[in-house]
């Protein structure tokens, strides 16, 4: 039999209807929705007199514009409040399980899916959100969709999909101490470019990926979209199964064992075909810091801001010039000489328990630099927040001078009060450094939680490898 890739297998097992020369109708196992990209979909259903087909496969959460401090106060943002109300009403009417902002299971949609065990290997998972690629870390086919497609899935539990091309990204060798999953993916995007995986579903493999915890694999898959990838996947293995066991939506006992046997068959067969293969030596990857206005504009922490004049491609040169202008940076500035105004530890990329532990290991017994105006840590979910508090991490953060908040997207996108002011520079563990992403005129540098914590202490970027901290992972 012809060897199949993980993508081929999941695709084949989800085709509902197929005609030559047309996209295939594929079945969707889990549909996650949030307040921003769903209201128009429900309105569309209503006006066409249609019903939600599988409320039992749909999960809803409020995350993008929720306040992260004091949720008991009345909402000042009336427009956001209307969206929350719409989601409440839509979910109540359709019978969809909703984690509202007061729910102890609430959190960022891509964090709670895995955390509650809703995300499992071999499934198709969609959400009206591009970072749905995160869930691929479990060996699921997970991708972001637009609102018209949200409506389509609500009505039919299916989607018309064209087959994607596949790309294997091999991260060979072991990563060095102080180098995290975030650095692996930033370095990868730096290498293949922000459009490097357009039209492709990525499978990540190699020793450096195998070695990662589930949290780390999620960080990597999360940013697949920043390379243009349709989805990112990692083959499920013992790390995956151990993570899933005991979570609320995961079968238990004998049923769990049966599920594991099924999940084991999801991985790509040896010799499976990929349309593209990229090999990267993970042993050579250093901690990364972005200097520009897309995640591909990235450098080693030991490096410097590049000179756009050295770029041969004229489009790249122009966009680098624009980026440096926006970022207020001069060519040749050493990355470690860039000082920062704020620090944000959070987002669906890096707000899981492991990320908080990493950051806390750096902050323990230290203080945020006086020059830093704000240091914010926003756990990815209320469950993670509670676990972190049980471990005493909140005390470490607060003692260092960080604000300890409730779960949500927060300053990753600045749709609530957590906005990066114009002209200020932020060390952020999120995934997008686009112009205005964290706030109009705000300047974002993407880094790992270790690097963000170290930058908070020093007030500028530092090479975490020089520090004598325990980065146990």
Partner 1 sequence: MTPFRKHTGLVVPLDRVNVDTDQIIPKQFLKLLTREGYGKFLFYDWRYLDGEKPNPDFILNQPRYKGASILLARANFGCGSSREHAPWAVLDYGFRSIIAPSYADIFYNNCFKNGILPVTLPEEQVDELFRRVAEKEGYTLTVDLDSQTVTDASGLRFTFEIDSFRKECLLNGWDDIGLTLRFEDRIADYERRYPSQARQYGPLESR
Q: Which of residues 77-116 bind ligand SF4 (CB under 6 A)?
A: 108, 110
Residue 100, burial from CB neighbour count under 10 angstroms (0-12, 13-18, 19+): middle
**With binding defined as CB under 8 A, does residue 16 bind partner 1?**
yes
**With binding defined as CB under 8 A, does residue 415 bind partner 1?**
yes
Binders in 98-117 for partner 1, by CB under 8 A: 102-105, 116
Length of the chain: 473
Q: Give the one entry of partner 1, ligand SF4, none that residue 158 binds, where binding means its C-beta sits below a cut-off of 5 to 8 angstroms depending on kind.
A: partner 1
Q: What are the tokens at 372?
A: 């830093």
Q: How far is the CB of 347 from ligand SF4 (least distance, A)?
A: 4
Query: Could you say which of 29, 35, 115, 129 contacts ligand SF4 (CB under 6 A)?
Result: 129
Query: Could you say which of 412, 456, 457, 464 contacts ligand SF4 (CB under 6 A)?
Result: 412
Q: What are the tokens at 470?
A: 């325990």
Beta bridge partners of 61: 34, 99
Q: Who's near 473: CB < 8 A, 6+ residues apart?
A: 180, 213, 216, 354, 358
Query: Could you say which of 73, 79, 309, 390 contacts partner 1 (CB under 8 A)?
Result: 79
How far does Cα 154 stand from its chain's mean position?
Answer: 24
**With binding defined as CB under 6 A, does residue 131 bind ligand SF4?**
yes
Q: Is 382 strand, coil or helix? A: helix
**With binding defined as CB under 8 A, does residue 250 bind partner 1?**
yes
Contact 23, 15 (CB under 8 A): no
Identify which of residues 361 and 430 has a Cβ nearer to ligand SF4 in the complex. Answer: 430
The candidate with the shortest Cα–Cα distance to 107, out of 352, 377, 382, is: 382
Q: How far is the CB of 271 from partner 1 (least distance, A)?
A: 27
**With binding defined as CB under 6 A, does residue 221 bind ligand SF4?**
no
The candidate with the shortest Cα–Cα distance to 405, out of 6, 68, 2, is: 68
DSSP letter, residue 43: H
Residue 421 and residue 424: Cα distance in Å, rounded?
6
Contact 371, 392 (CB under 8 A): no
**With binding defined as CB under 8 A, does residue 27 bind partner 1?**
yes
Q: Is 143 strand, coil or helix? A: strand
Stretch that binds ligand SF4, among 114-122, 319-327, 336-344, 409-417 (CB under 6 A): 409-417
**With binding defined as CB under 8 A, does residue 277 bind partner 1?**
no
Report how many residues bind partner 1 under the rule CB under 8 A. 87
Stretch that binds ligand SF4, among 227-235, 297-305, 408-416, 442-450 (CB under 6 A): 408-416
Residue 3 and residue 21: Cα distance in Å, rounded?
24
Binding mask 145-174 for partner 1 (x = CB under 8 A): xxxxx-xx--xxxx-x-x------------
**With binding defined as CB under 6 A, does residue 431 bind ligand SF4?**
yes
Residue 230, burial from CB neighbour count under 10 angstroms (0-12, 13-18, 19+): buried
Identify which of residues 128 and 178 has a Cβ nearer to partner 1 in the complex. Answer: 128
Binders in 255-284 for ligand SF4, by CB under 6 A: none
Residue 203 and residue 267: Cα distance in Å, rounded?
10
**With binding defined as CB under 8 A, does residue 194 bind partner 1?**
yes
Residues near ligand SF4, by CB under 6 A: 63-64, 108, 110, 129, 131, 347-348, 409, 412-413, 430-431
């Amino acid at each position: 039999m012809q060897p199949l890739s993980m993508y081929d297998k999941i695709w084949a097992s989800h085709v509902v209807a197929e005609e030559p020369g047309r996209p295939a109708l594929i079945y969707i196992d889990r549909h996650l929705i949030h307040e921003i990209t769903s209201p128009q979909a429900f309105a569309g259903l209503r006006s066409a007199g249609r019903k939600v087909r599988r409320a039992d496969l749909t999960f809803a959460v409020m995350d993008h514009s929720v306040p992260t401090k004091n949720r008991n106060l009345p909402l000042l943002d009336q427009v956001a409040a209307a969206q929350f109300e719409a989601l409440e009403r839509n979910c109540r009417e359709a019978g969809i399980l909703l984690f509202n902002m007061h729910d102890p299971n609430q959190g960022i949609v891509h964090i709670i899916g895995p955390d509650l065990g809703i995300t499992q290997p071999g499934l198709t998972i969609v959400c009206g959100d591009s970072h749905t690629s995160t869930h691929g870390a479990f060996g699921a086919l997970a991708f972001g969709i637009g609102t018209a497609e949200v409506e389509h899935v609500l009505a039919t539990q299916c989607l018309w999909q064209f087959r994607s091309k596949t790309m294997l990204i091999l991260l060979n060798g072991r990563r060095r101490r102080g180098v995290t999953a975030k650095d692996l993916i930033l370095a990868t995007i730096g290498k293949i470019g922000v459009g490097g995986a357009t039209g492709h579903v990525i499978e990540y493999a190699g020793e450096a990926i195998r070695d990662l915890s589930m949290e780390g694999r999620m960080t990597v898959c999360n940013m697949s979209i920043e390379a243009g990838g349709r989805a990112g996947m990692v083959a499920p293995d013992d790390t995956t199964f151990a993570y899933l066991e005991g979570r609320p939506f995961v079968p238990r006992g004998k049923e769990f064992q049966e599920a594991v046997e099924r999940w084991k068959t999801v991985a790509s067969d040896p010799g499976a075909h990929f349309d593209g293969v990229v090999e990267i030596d993970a042993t050579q990857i250093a901690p990364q810091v972005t200097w520009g206005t897309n995640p591909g504009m990235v450098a080693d922490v030991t490096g410097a801001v590049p000179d756009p004049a050295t770029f041969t491609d004229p489009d790249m040169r122009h966009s680098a010039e624009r980026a440096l202008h926006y970022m207020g940076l001069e060519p040749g500035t050493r990355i470690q000489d860039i000082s920062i105004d704020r620090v944000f530890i959070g987002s669906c990329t890096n707000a899981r328990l492991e990320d908080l532990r990493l950051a806390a290991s750096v902050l323990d017994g230290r203080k945020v630099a006086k020059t830093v105006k704000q240091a914010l840590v926003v756990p990815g979910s209320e469950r993670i927040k509670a676990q972190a508090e049980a471990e005493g991490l909140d005390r470490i953060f607060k003692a260092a001078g960080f604000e300890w908040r409730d779960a949500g997207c927060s300053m990753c996108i600045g749709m609530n009060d957590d906005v990066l002011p114009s002209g200020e520079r932020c060390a952020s563990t999120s995934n997008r450094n686009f112009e205005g992403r964290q706030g109009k005129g705000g300047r974002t540098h993407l880094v790992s939680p270790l690097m963000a914590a170290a930058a908070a202490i020093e007030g500028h970027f530092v090479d975490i490898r020089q520090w004598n901290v325990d980065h146990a992972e």
